[in-house]
Structure 1
Amino acid sequence: MNDERKKAIQSLKTSKGQIEGIIKMIEDGRYCIDISNQIIAAQSLLKKANMLILKQHLNHCVKDAFSKANNEEDIEKKIEEIIQILSKITGK
């Protein structure tokens, strides 16, 4: 397992703990702004994990595909995959 994946797993585990804490905060009737701040923190960790996974994908999977691509269609397919995921991230 490479470094990006290890860091992504750690971010996901941390966000899992935060989400469990958020659920408890809601159940305990904690102040809404405090809950919202914790949700934002969990979202940040999820974004970080996603970026680490995408970095790993670009550095390994895409790089390998480009070096082994037999034709332009294979390269265009990999580029389109990245464009589609970036459009989901940016909401565009």
Structure 2
Amino acid sequence: MNEERKKALTSLKTAKGQIDGIIKMLEDERYCVDISNQIIASQALLKKANMLILKQHMHHCVKDAIMENDANRKIDEIIVILEKVIQK
């Protein structure tokens, strides 16, 4: 597993723990703003993990495709991902 994937995995595991905590906060009827802040923190971790995965993809999969003169499919994959991110 390369470094980007390790970092992404760490972020996802942390987000998982935060989400479990958020569920507990809701069950305990904690203050809404505190819950919202934790949701925002979890979203940031998910975005970070996604960026790390895309970075790894660009540096390895897309780079390899370019070297093999087969970049169009990989570029199209990235465009689809960017469209999803931008539409939010």
The normalised TM-score by structure 1 is 0.92
2:72 aligned with 1:87, yes or no?
Answer: no
Q: Which residue matches 2:2?
A: 2
Structure 2 stretches lacking a partner, 5+ long: none
CA-based RMSD:
1.0
Looking at CA atoms only, which structure, 1 or 2, has the larger radius of gyration? 1
Residue 49 of structure 1 deviates from its aligned partner by 0.1
Matched to 1:83, the amino acid is: I
Q: Which residue matches 1:41?
A: 41
2:18 aligned with 1:18, yes or no?
Answer: yes
Matched to 2:8, the amino acid is: A
Matched to 1:68, the amino acid is: E
The normalised TM-score by structure 2 is 0.96
| Identity of matched residues, % | 72
Structure 1 stretches lacking a partner, 5+ long: none
Aligned length: 88
